[in-house]
Structure 1
Amino acid sequence: MSVRVVIGAQWGDEGKGKIVDLLSDKANYVVRYQGGANAGHTLKFDDKKVVLHLIPSGIFNGDAHCVIGNGVVIDPVALVEEIKGVQEMGFELKDRFFISQTAHVILPYHKLLDQLKEKRRGGDAIGTTGRGIGPAYVSKVSRVGIRMVDLLDKDVLRSKIEQNLKDINFALENLYKEPVLDADELMSELSESIELLEPYICNTTELLHKAIRNEESVLLEGAQGTLLDVDHGTYPYVTSSSPTSGGACTGSGIPPTALDKVMGITKAYCTRVGNGPFPTELLGETGELLREKGAEFGATTGRPRRCGWLDLVALKYVCQINGINELTLTKMDVMDGFEEIKVCTAYKLDGEETDVFPLCLDEIRDVEPVYTSLPGWKNSIEGITSWDELPSTAQSYIRFVEEYLGVKFTIISTGPKRSETIIV
């Protein structure tokens, strides 16, 4: 039995989907524990690319039971579309897919408020996907949220929607100068989704505790990355949930004492979507080259990702926050052809050098990265599946990162396909 958490160790988009798909082959349960349909996990099978937003990536591998935990906020319409897509590919969800009855629901008014707030912020916009994630978490924390279990009782659901619309319509009419929403229309929009989702809604916390008692293997899958964590990330340019190992426990109902492996996923370089500080960002030709070679465009929005050198100061902080005891390196093949590869090993702040990641937004914005240059490699490593086949300079790059962090890599990805992987 093992309970492993897979953590995004940067600003998200680290390639967690492929790794969860790979690891799920030996997992009895794969659990998504936070976030919403703002995250996209891209999987590649042969020449077919699949993007999942809510269903755990393990749905395509083995006989794993896939769970959406209580920490996720769910857009019912989007989830139904995703379920239909998976079924059309020939994968069965009956008795394999479960939705927490205490997960909160994203309603049309959450998406509308998300978009209106971003527009109102103007130049200070956070850079959200407009999928209603933040406002849904606001409803949850404000204790006016609607949970999946509420969808099963139409009278309860209508009552809660009508109560919430009193405040929402007041804001729409008076603050945003937008048309008000109608409870009947919202109920009608949800009706088909509710009917299709009802068989999957259950007490997933008890389901997972039973699995642990039976010594079954559980794999916990996060969305986004630690540097977007609402508590530990580059606030306020963060997501609205906790993609950390701590968030894995609160978002699934599994206690911290049950965790025995915490895997951090990092690219061989850095990317970020949306606004916010990014110390190693490259604005010139090198950044464009990384974006082009790495196909760095959002799986959910298609937005181009900002690119930069690997930031070991930030990565060390992430390892500490999560208690990471194993690492995976993705997109190693993107570094092919660089004569010189830089990694950030310290920051300069107010004239002094530090290896401590600052928590104040203004300080993170003001840091100057201090780089160590490492030799690159000319030969392509795409598709390599053995450590010994890696060029010596690629091996040295990996060992340098391991020594700095004090954590070993157990998986190295050399391409998007499941097969293009080195197990160290």
Structure 2
Amino acid sequence: MTGTPWADGHAIVTDLGFGDAGKGVTVDLLCSRRRFGAVVRANGGAQAAHNVVAPDGRHHTFSQFGAGTLAPDGPVPTHLSRLAVVDPFALAAEAAHLAALGVADPLSLVTVDRRALVSTPWHQARGRARERARGAGRHGSCGMGVGETMAYALARPEDAPTVGDCAEPARLRRKLALLAEYLAEAAGPDPAEPSPDPEECVAAYRAFASAVRLVDERYLPTLLAASPVVFEGAQGVLLDEWHGFHPHTTWSTTTSANPLTLLAEAGRAGAARRIGVVRTYTTRHGAGPLVAEEPALGAVLAERHNGTHPWQGAFRVGPFDLVAHRYALAATGGADTLVVTHADAPDRIRAATSAGPRWCTGYTDQCGTPLEIAPSEVPDLARQERVTAALMKARPVLEAMPEDPVAAIGEALGVPVEAVFSGPTREDAHVPSLV
């Protein structure tokens, strides 16, 4: 099933699973096909991990930089919007790796909205302590402090450090002192985490503010008017703060809502092509429901760039979950096209198992009664927690996957397939409508 060629306007790339579906390679392919004014990050922070392998073998895990940085005609700039959470230390480390790959002065490619929240070592330490305290009931945190950053900003909006503060040392010192005091009163010292050095942070954040370009609310509307951009989502719809399966979720809106909000603020409501990304099988990094999980598939589909994470936990695998992906499509308001990655996986499963590739076409409860899930129209975490409890006990209805898995996925989801990846690089992509 194929659709029309990618439009010449803005694009929104959204993962329709639990993350790791291939947003990075999709953005890399988009940026290799045509020129964008920027890759815009509209949610999440340094916990994102989008692997891109260039045809020449260079590999980078994109976290805050946009995945168009290794585009063949030169790096596509990155804009960190007001809805992103910025970690200057992690950004500097990422820039160093990109420089080692041959990208000249990576930080000069970055513009950052002054209103964006800053994630600090205090947030990170508190988030890790909170996750450790959960013991066997861990939520699956990435350990980067993004959730604590969001929580603090909700509790103390006037005191939350922002990117604009990084250029104002006196104001930044005051906010960091308030942050440290607040978190110490809330949790006390944690011997497993070192105490951050405020002056080291102030110096590093001033260097960050000098190396990137800080912009105000006028920048993004001007950028959107001047050239198309691609919004690179972080995490997956099934981890969304409101639609995901609470509490195993992220403190971030992972649907297309944030890009659509930014477009609307710029007077360009709805002016973007929405691209959903899926694998031919379903994965989840860490704790939470994965109804059709089959641990044995992990050995067949082992990956070089995904494995057990010290905070998230194991990288889990199961057959393509049609129920979960239909839920994700409904939660994000649909998609115009699909990108399907890991198209070679069904053949690998067929060669390694007697059963061949399967997919999950339904759920039942423990009594065999069909179980259906649908996203709520209003935010309701208590409802989502009840859904999670039901999914943790649910059983998958498994059937043999059709002979042409990619076409079957497109047909079953009712969305045209725009591109298919059978390997890790842009050269492994097949774009039927452009051939």
TM-score (norm 2): 0.85
SS in 1 for 2:277: strand
User: Partner residue of 1:257?
Assistant: 269
- Unaligned 5+ runs, structure 2: 1-7, 351-355, 376-383
* 1:159 matched to 2:174: yes
* 1:397 matched to 2:405: yes
Structure 1 pair 405/179, CA: closer, same or farther in 2 (3 Å)?
Answer: closer
SS in 1 for 2:222: helix
* 1:134 matched to 2:147: yes
SS in 1 for 2:111: strand
User: Partner residue of 2:330?
Assistant: 320
SS in 2 for 1:371: strand
User: Partner residue of 2:11?
Assistant: 4
SS in 2 for 1:60: coil
Deviation at 1:231, TM superposition (A): 0.5
SS in 2 for 1:309: strand
What are the residue-to-residue correspondences of 1:274-423 with 2, within 5 Å?
274-283=286-295, 285-290=296-301, 292=302, 296-297=306-307, 304-322=314-332, 323-339=334-350, 340-349=356-365, 351-354=368-371, 356-357=373-374, 359=384, 360-374=387-401, 393=403, 396-423=404-431
SS in 2 for 1:80: helix
Give, in whole Å, the separation in 1 of the partners of 2:424 and 2:311. 19
What are the residue-to-residue correspondences of 1:11-410 with 2, within 5 Å?
11-25=18-32, 26=34, 27-45=36-54, 46-61=56-71, 62-63=73-74, 64-92=76-104, 93=106, 96-142=109-155, 143=157, 144-173=159-188, 181=195, 185-203=197-215, 205-214=217-226, 216-250=227-261, 257-283=269-295, 285-290=296-301, 292=302, 296-297=306-307, 304-322=314-332, 323-339=334-350, 340-349=356-365, 351-354=368-371, 356-357=373-374, 359=384, 360-374=387-401, 393=403, 396-410=404-418
Structure 1 letter corresponding to 2:229: V
Identity %: 25
Checking the alignment, whether the CA contact within 8 Å between 1:114 and 1:131 is kept in structure 2 is: yes
- Unaligned 5+ runs, structure 1: 376-392
Checking the alignment, whether the CA contact within 8 Å between 1:38 and 1:300 is kept in structure 2 is: no
Deviation at 1:19, TM superposition (A): 0.9
Give, in whole Å, the separation in 1 of the partners of 2:170 and 2:418. 51
Checking the alignment, whether the CA contact within 8 Å between 1:80 and 1:197 is kept in structure 2 is: no
Checking the alignment, whether the CA contact within 8 Å between 1:39 and 1:300 is kept in structure 2 is: no
RMSD of aligned Cα (Å): 2.5
Give, in whole Å, the separation in 2 of the partners of 1:167 and 1:219. 38
Query: How many positions carry a matched residue from both structures?
Result: 399
SS in 1 for 2:349: coil
Structure 1 pair 113/342, CA: closer, same or farther in 2 (3 Å)?
Answer: same
Deviation at 1:9, TM superposition (A): 0.7
**For residues 175-201 of structure 1, what are the alpha-carbon distances to aligned partners after superposition, in whole Å with 9 as ceiling and x for unaligned?**
x5789957xx21223403422432424
SS in 1 for 2:51: strand
After the TM superposition, which of the residue ranges 267-276 and 350-359 deviates more from structure 2?
A: 350-359
Checking the alignment, whether the CA contact within 8 Å between 2:275 and 2:337 is kept in structure 1 is: yes
